[in-house]
Structure 1
Amino acid sequence: MIFQAPGAGQFKPGTRLRHYKGGLYVVVGTCLIEATLKPGILYQPQQGDMQHVTWMRPISDFQETVVTADGKVPRFVILDPA
């Protein structure tokens, strides 16, 4: 199955994502990174002991591809849009 990296407009609160390493996350919202004024995504893990922690990454990280043993894959894929 071929997946495409998510586009910028797809990161609505409640959107569920899968990281290429298998982790599941939910989008909390969007933000501006103060130091750069670039857009960011706020998200929380859906498993493990850090579910109460909100993380932030630049939106560009969500649109990147990474090289794995299986070739290039998106860093994150959307499981179900909010």
Structure 2
Amino acid sequence: MAIIVNIDVMLAKRKMSVTELSEKVGITMANLSILKNGKARAIRFSTLEKLCEVLDCQPGDLLEYRSDKEVEEKTGK
């Protein structure tokens, strides 16, 4: 099972930098990078709420579920 975090997609749609998002959400660049790169093991609802507020989106715009099979087909792993 894989949860894909689509922060990059929303940043591009909103024409916003990672630095700007980090400042507006109130999380460190390091933690935002962990989220962006899919290395996070959890996210607080308060952080998800703030991301949605700043990016003017829904949680489903940021988070996507893909089965292991789909991930393997896309990545070849």
- TM, length-normalised to structure 2: 0.28
From the two aligned structures, give the one with the greater strand fraction: 1
From the two aligned structures, give the one with the greater helix fraction: 2
Q: Larger relative contact order (C-alpha < 8 A, sep ≥ 6)?
A: 2
